[in-house]
Structure 1
Amino acid sequence: MKFIADSMLGRLAKWLRILGYDTVYFKSGSDSELVFESIRQGRIILTGDRNISRNVPLRIIFVKSDCYTEQLMQIIKELNLKPEQNNFFKRCSVCNCLLNNISREKIKRLVPEYVYETQTEFSNCPECGRIYWRGTHTDRIFELLKRICV
Structure 2
Amino acid sequence: MSERDRDPLVLDAMLGTLATYLRMCGYDAAYALDRDAEADEDLLALAHTEARRLVTRDADLAREAPDSVLLTERAVDDQLRELADAGFTLELADPPTHCGTCNGRLEAVDRTEPTPEYAPDPADEPLWRCRDCGQHFWKGSHWDDVAETLASL
Measured against the shorter chain, the TM-score band is: 0.7 to 0.9
2:75 is aligned with 1:63: no
**Partner of residue 28 from structure 2, selected from 8, 11, 22:** 22
Question: Is the contact between residue 30 and residue 103 of structure 2 (CA under 8 Å) also seen in structure 1?
Answer: yes
Higher helix share: 1
Aligned to 1:132: 137
Deviation at 1:101, TM superposition (A): 0.3
**Partner Cα distance (1:57, 1:116) in 2:** 45
**Partner Cα distance (1:125, 1:13) in 2:** 16
**Partner of residue 33 from structure 1, selected from 18, 34, 42:** 42
Question: Is the contact between residue 111 and residue 123 of structure 2 (CA under 8 Å) also seen in structure 1?
Answer: no
Unmatched 5+ stretches in structure 2:
1-6
1:23-45: per-residue Cα shift (whole Å, max 9, x none)?
00011432111111101111111
**Partner of residue 61 from structure 2, selected from 42, 52, 58:** 52
Question: Is the contact between residue 119 and residue 134 of structure 1 (CA under 8 Å) also seen in structure 2?
Answer: no
Q: How does 1:1-150 map to 2 (within 5 A)?
A: 1-27=7-33, 28-54=37-63, 56-78=64-86, 80-83=87-90, 85-87=92-94, 89-108=96-115, 110-112=116-118, 115-116=120-121, 119-148=124-153
Normalising by structure 1, we get a TM-score of 0.85
**Partner Cα distance (2:122, 2:83) in 1:** 38
Q: Which moved more, 1:66-75 or 1:27-36?
A: 27-36
**In the alignment, residue 36 of structure 1 is paired with which amino acid?**
A
RMSD: 2.1
Unmatched 5+ stretches in structure 1:
none
1:45-88: per-residue Cα shift (whole Å, max 9, x none)?
1111122123x15121111000011111211221x123455556
Percent identical residues: 24
Kindly tell me the number of residue pairs found equivalent between the two proteins.
144
**Partner Cα distance (1:103, 1:117) in 2:** 7
Normalising by structure 2, we get a TM-score of 0.83
Are the structure 2 counterparts of residues 104 and 112 from structure 1 closer, same or farther at C-alpha, using a change threshold of 3 Å?
farther
